[in-house]
Amino acid sequence: MSYNPTPMPYAGASPQLDFMELNRSRDEIKKHLDNPKARAIIFQNGRPALTPQLTPFRVHPKKLIGQNIYDPGPVFLGLEDGQPLFAFHLAEGPSTLVKTDDFQELRRVGSQLNPADLAVLGRAKSFLDWHFDHNFCAKCGNKSHPELAGLIRKCPSCSTEHYPRVNPVVIMLVLHGDQCLLGAGHKFPEGAFSALAGFISPGETPEEAVIREVKEETGVDVTNPRYIFTQPWPYPSQLMLGFTAEAHAMDISLNKEELRAAKWVSKSTVRDVFNKTSQAFTRPPRYTIAYHLLRYWLAEQG
């Protein structure tokens, strides 16, 4: 039996969204903005506006006229089921369009949203957060401008083009027989445990990063890192590469700078936690790749 989450939350920006990255002339974008079926999703302070049913609040882009919109203006996310979809970043303060309470923290409500909506919101959030944090050219320091309807930024002074950053991270379920190694970060809620994770260093393969990160965080030597699946993670813009790896032994030497705790947990305990018949630890939320790595392991024989 194998387990394959489809679609993975935040991944693929939902199957129905065509990014249209090659077709973003000013005329084309104007045509999309004028399309009566065009829609816009709205963010403020990194939070999307959601309906009471927890779907993205969608309005025609023209409704945003007169609102206080941050640079980059409309970001064209692509065609959703053939209709143009934009994202806007409203400046802070009251709006006549959306109530302040409608802007919700994605991490708090993520488990209640469907994966396709999370994918669209995650793509939009990564773009808007990147624009917000990268207003100035990293090369010469002058103000840069959005181009290609928010796909990139360009510096008018030195002509450098800046592309949105995606930072690769490995996240791994370390296994030893029927035990898996879970860790608790310093910011985790009390009792919460998840798969170990860490950023890939320049010049490193993901497999090398798995082996190094596990050793650094827990002192455990692992071998045979095996890629399982991937999740884009918009906090702010990581690409989580999910692996399993096999531990040589179970001795833990905890790096307290990196983790508050780490422990081995048996497959039967993980299964009981998922079935809510055990409170041995709090499992990762449903919208995380760590949740799906654990589900993948539970679905394996043994």
Query: CB 156 → Zn ion: shortest distance, Å?
Result: 8
93: number of Cβ within 10 Å: 8
- The DSSP bridge partners found for residue 240 are 169, 231
| Angle in degrees, CA 179, 184, 189, rounded to 5 | 125
Cβ distance to Zn ion smaller for residue 155 or 180:
155
Residues that bind Zn ion (CB under 5 A): 137, 139-140, 155, 157-158, 160
Read off φ and ψ for residue 40, nearest 5 degrees: -130, 140
Tokens 């084309």 -> residue? 28
Number of H helices, E strands in the chain: 6, 15
Q: In terms of DSSP H, where are the helices of 144-224?
A: 206-218
CA angle 9, 286, 6 (to 5 degrees): 40
- Pick between residue 134 and residue 286 the one whose CB is nearest to Zn ion: 134
Percent composition of the chain: helix, strand, coil (DSSP 3-state, to 5)? 25, 30, 45
CB of 135 to Zn ion, least distance (A): 12
Q: Give the nearest distance from C-beta 159 to Zn ion in angstroms.
A: 7
The end-to-end CA distance of the chain, in Å, is 11
Kindly tell me which of 77 and 137 has the beta carbon lying closer to Zn ion. Answer: 137
Please check whether residue 171 is in contact with residue 293, taking contact to mean a CB–CB distance below 8 angstroms: yes
> Please, which residues have CB within 8 angstroms of residue 60's CB and are 6 or more apart in sequence?
36, 38, 39, 40
Q: Taking the complex as a whole, how short is the minimal distance between the CB of residue 68 and Zn ion, in angstroms?
A: 27
Q: Smallest gap, in angstroms, from Cβ of residue 137 to Zn ion?
A: 3
At residue 177, φ and ψ (nearest 5 deg) are 60, -125
Shorter beta-carbon distance to Zn ion: residue 141 or 191: 141
Least spacing, CB of residue 261 vs Zn ion, in Å: 45
Closer residue to Zn ion (CB): 63 or 154: 154
Q: Closer to Zn ion by CB, 54 or 140: give it.
A: 140
Shortest reach from residue 78's CB to Zn ion, in Å: 28
CA distance 201 to 212: 10
DSSP 24-41: --HHHHHHHHH-TT-EEE
For residues 137 and 214, which CB has a smaller minimum distance to Zn ion in the complex? Answer: 137
- Please state, as a whole number, how many other Cβ atoms lie within 10 Å of the Cβ of residue 37: 10
Smaller CB distance to Zn ion: residue 145 or 263?
145
Residue 237 CB, shortest distance to Zn ion, in Å, is: 21
Q: How many CA atoms lie within 13 A of 7 on its CB side?
A: 19
